[in-house]
Amino acid sequence: MTTTEAAAPDDTILYHHFDDLDQQHLSSVLGMWVFLATEVLFFGGLLAAYVIYRALYRGAFIAAGEHLNVILGGINTAVLLTSSLTMALAVRAAQFRRHDAVVLFLSLTTILGATFLGIKAVEWYRDYQEHLMPGVDFDWAKAQAGRHEPSPRPDGRGTEGTSEVHEAGPGAGKSTAPSASVRRAESEMPLPLLPPPGGTLGEEPTTTEAGRAQLFFCLYFFLTGLHGLHMIIGIGLLAVFIALVRRRWFSGGGATQIEMLGLYWHFVDIVWVYLYPILYLIDIKS
Amino acid sequence: MSQHILTVRANLTVFGVLMLLLIVTVAATYAVPVRFGVFVALTIATIKAVMIMMYFMHLKFSDRLARIFAAAAFLWLGILIALSLNDYLTRGWLNIPGK
């Protein structure tokens, strides 16, 4: 990859507490990376929880993950990667002091970011319709039944689907009633590491697997929700930066400031680059 | 100022590789045996993340100190996840009475 030195005349204001513009720029870069490190660990807590529970409750998490829409998630990944490209081009334009191009590319980034959130909202609404939203409407039996009925799978009859294949093993039976089959699977299911919560299962439809699937969706909504919050903040920042660039508010064409905004935006992109495979892709059956 | 400017061509190349890797990771989900799926998916995701950090986030052209700062973030994330798993995954190994 070839790079060139900044061609534009340097009109950046040097603040008095810096020795030179290089030091001023580096301090901005380092400060931003320190912030991003805290962000990595902010997401890291949720990620670690997800990794641990995925390792413990693999079968239920696979069954739950198969409810997510791989295609919409993939389109969203493409949208976000494209927004990273426009963001990188905005930084480049700022380095050349091409203000109109900066405004154009920042606007494109904003539009792509909003597109991502729009698609995400559609996904969330579908999850809600499929009874997959913990705390609002979570019904694992209904969700499993709804998943298997419309799909033209040759093997699919009722709810004795993926979950039992993974978790119950060879004993997975031919029972027809969804609650009975789930309950039976649960009684047969070896619990290798942790005891079932409480032990008072019975009249409620909350089986162990339903609880684990609910845990998956809790983590899913918090991970994607926290990511979505960062997108909203990013779009807000983009709007402010567009207004400021239009007013020529920055010294040095805002090259450093827009680069820092770019670092934030690319970071949010990287988070999604990891969320997409671990939530949508891993272990699904074709 | 020593800010490096990536050419449009370089930006587009990185973007193209990223999109290609996105297609590869989706295809690999269905093509690769399930037990290797996690490793393939995470490897591709890490390649994508490193490319974004190196080119879009300019780490390739940044001061070494900036790269250390970036690496530290992921080092600590690794410690968080690895040591937590080390605890959870080995709890059942010892038959401690009354546990």
- Tell me the per-residue pLDDT of A263-280, one tens digit each, with 9 for 90 and over: 999 999 999 999 999 999
Among chain A residues, the shortest Cα distance to B28 is held by: A281
CA distance B1 to A14: 11
A17: its two tokens: 């507490």
Residues with Cβ < 8 Å from B11, sequence gap 6 or more? A85, A88, A89, A92, B55, B56
Complex confidence, ipTM: 0.92
Is this model's pTM higher than 0.90 or not? no
DSSP letters of A207-236? -HHHHHHHHHHHHHHHHHHHHHHHHHHHHH
Q: Which residues of A touch B49 (CB under 8 A)?
A: 270, 273-274
Q: Which residues of B touch A285 (CB under 8 A)?
A: 34
Please indicate whether, in this complex, the C-beta atoms of B80 and A44 are within 8 angstroms of each other: yes
Could you give the percent of chain A with pLDDT greater than 70?
Answer: 75
Q: What is the mean pLDDT of residues B40-56?
A: 94
Among chain B residues, the shortest Cα distance to A4 is held by: B5
B53-57: long-range contacts (C-beta < 8 A, 24 or more apart)? Answer: B53/A266, B53/A270, B55/A1, B55/A88, B55/B6, B55/B10, B55/B11, B55/B14, B56/A84, B56/A85, B56/A87, B56/A88, B56/A262, B56/A266, B56/B11, B56/B14, B57/A262, B57/A263, B57/A266, B57/A267
Mutate one of A13, A85, A256 to test the B interface: name it (highest B CB count within 10 A): A85
Low-confidence winner among A101-110, B30-39, B58-67 (lowest mean pLDDT)? B30-39
Q: Which of A5-14, A107-116, B32-41 is most confident?
A: A107-116
Q: What is the mean pLDDT of residues A19-41?
A: 93
Mutate one of B56, B58, B74, B89 to test the A interface: name it (highest A CB count within 10 A): B56
B45: its two tokens: 């995701």
A6 in contact with B at a CB cutoff of 8 Å?
A: yes
Q: How far is A134 from chain B (nearest CA, A)?
A: 25
Of A6, A81, A282, the CB nearest to B3: A6
CA distance A138 to A201: 17
Q: Which residues of B touch A34 (CB under 8 A)?
A: 69
Q: Which residues of A touch B50 (CB under 8 A)?
A: none
Structure confidence by residue, pLDDT tens digits, A198-239: 444 333 445 788 889 999 999 999 999 999 999 999 999 999
Q: Which residues of B touch A9 (CB under 8 A)?
A: none
Please give the pLDDT value at position A1: 44
Of B1, B38, B89, the CB nearest to A12: B1
